Amino acid sequence: MNTLRLRAGLNPGFASPPLAPGLGEVVTEEAVVLPPPGAKLHITPLVQEGERVRAGAPVACLRHAPAVCLVAPMQGQVARIDLMPGRILNEIVLFRDSETEGGTEVEQHDVSAAGSLPALRRLLQGAGVWPWIGRRPFGGMPGVDEVPASILVMGSDTRPFAPDPQLVLEGRHEAFARGLDALTRLTDGTVFVTWPHGLPTPRIARGGDRISWLLTGPRHPQASPGICLHRAAPAALDAPVWDLHAEDVAHIGDFMKTGRLSMTRHVHIAGSALAEARMVRTTTGADLRQLVQGLVTPGPHKTMAGGPLDGRSARWLGPRDRQVTVTPRTDPRPEPHWLIRALTSSAFPRPVIPTAALTQAFASALPAVPFLRALGAGDEEAAMRLGLLSLLEEDIALADYVLGTGGDLQRQLRALLDRIETENAP
């Protein structure tokens, strides 16, 4: 049964040139502070345009929860603070400081006081860790006082072209263990860590009994956070679950020792419009145009933050993105004849035919057909019973791709989640 489970899933093939050797270090000339995708953050800016900031220095805090800060990804000058009506954050653009000498200055936090749980939370919130955390149900950033029922750490990643977290963790297992220890203090439940099947799991000295390892196979979506949570610790309305990438956990581990939070991350740049794929280490909020500069083949192209399945056209790297996908941009096709349209695309949403491919697109984790029928019919109760609350768009992106529904399923999922969230709002 276990081998069956580890073989579940699909590996859709996407074209991409071979990976260039080595790891590029890129700090882009411009970088931004962004809200997590889909989140509306009312903020209070803590800096003014033109001001110089250190890497990791807070540039804004949430208006209704001043403890939660958004921090500068690199040392530089605040170029533009772009707010929407209601002081909702759109983006804060920074220009890289080229004048400083003697390396970058990184914001230093006092970690000696992190002994108590409230102090630890305040420290992480103030250092800018909060936007890195994903939360389920509904997605977005965790609330300031939210206590998760459990935490999921993604030590494996099966998305196409995703950077291997194991590569990132090389030589950083001590920091990773320290980060996990900090996470065990944030929750009363278990900290689940996904780990590739066949690799030895690291020994954790402290808090090891609160950590549970989830072995995942090589096929997507086995290491998709939603599918892992669905199997191990389903999220519920009163039991939110957080998820974090292993690299961020290692950063937290280093932060707990040195008081400096690294804003770097490994990003894999891939896609069919590239001359060569690359792995780079850059900062959060990096400028995608500079990242892909020199790698793209001539011709119009589309740069997406995220993978080929769940990516979205973007100019900047989001707080939780670790992939950049560049695909050729095709001009919108001319409108076909009305009869052709009637023959091919008049029925929306398209009916889903149950096949083995669909079951595998959910890694056999849940009854896919009844779930999709509940989504299509907008049946909240049935969908929640089948595990809707653990899932987000990224988890069903594969099903959307496999069925050729062009994003319909993700839109249906989001609409249903939004409705449930509104109905259950306090």
Partner 1 sequence: MTRGLWTRETVAALMLAALMPLALFWLWTSGLAGAMGLTFAIVIIGVWHLVFMLVRAQPPSLSALITALAIAMLAPEELGVFRLALGVSFGVVMGELVFGGWGRNVVNPATVALAFLGFGFPSAPWPAFDAPIAWAAIPAAVLGAALGIMPFALIVAAASVAAAALMLGLLTEPVLFAAGIGLVLLVADPVTSAATGLGRVLNGALYTLFVVFFAAGWSGAAPVQITVASALLASLAAPLLDDIAIQVWVSRRRRRHGRA
Residues 236 and 12: their CA atoms lie apart, in Å, by 31
* Closest separation in Å from C-beta 406 to partner 1: 6
* Closest separation in Å from C-beta 236 to partner 1: 5
Given the DSSP bridges, would you call strands 43-45 and 58-62 parallel, antiparallel or unpaired? Answer: antiparallel
From candidates 55, 324, 386, 420, binder to partner 1 by CB under 8 A: 386
Answer yes or no whether residue 273 interacts with partner 1 by CB under 8 A: no
Residues 334 and 324: their CA atoms lie apart, in Å, by 29
Amino acid letter at 390? Answer: S
From candidates 345, 378, 418, 419, binder to partner 1 by CB under 8 A: 345
Q: Which of helix, strand or coil describes residue 102? A: coil
Answer yes or no whether residue 11 interacts with partner 1 by CB under 8 A: no
Residues 387 and 383: their CA atoms lie apart, in Å, by 6
Could you tell me how far CA 314 lies from the centroid of its own chain? 14
Residues 99 and 226: their CA atoms lie apart, in Å, by 44
Cα 290 to Cα 279, 282, 286, 304, 366: the distances in Å are: 14, 11, 8, 13, 41
Answer yes or no whether residue 4 interacts with partner 1 by CB under 8 A: no
Residues 281 and 25: their CA atoms lie apart, in Å, by 5
When the beta carbons of 195 and 401 are compared against partner 1, the nearer one is 401
Name the one range near partner 1 by CB under 8 A: 100-108, 207-215, 242-250, 401-409. Answer: 401-409
When the beta carbons of 23 and 357 are compared against partner 1, the nearer one is 357
* Closest separation in Å from C-beta 254 to partner 1: 34
Name which of residues 283 to 342 contact partner 1 (CB under 8 A): 308, 327, 342
Answer yes or no whether residue 116 interacts with partner 1 by CB under 8 A: no
Answer yes or no whether residue 369 interacts with partner 1 by CB under 8 A: yes
From candidates 181, 240, 387, 393, binder to partner 1 by CB under 8 A: 387
3-state helix, strand, coil in the chain (%, to 5): 30, 25, 45
Name the one range near partner 1 by CB under 8 A: 189-197, 274-282, 314-322, 350-358. Answer: 350-358
Give burial (CB, 10 Å; 0-12/13-18/19+) of 13.
exposed
Answer yes or no whether residue 189 interacts with partner 1 by CB under 8 A: no
From candidates 403, 409, 416, 420, binder to partner 1 by CB under 8 A: 403
When the beta carbons of 62 and 229 are compared against partner 1, the nearer one is 229
- Cα-Cα end-to-end distance for the chain: 42
Answer yes or no whether residue 346 interacts with partner 1 by CB under 8 A: yes
Name the token pair of 192.
């689940």
19: which strand partners?
277
Residues that bind partner 1 (CB under 8 A): 12, 14, 233-234, 236, 239, 308, 327, 342-347, 350-358, 367, 369-370, 384-387, 401-407
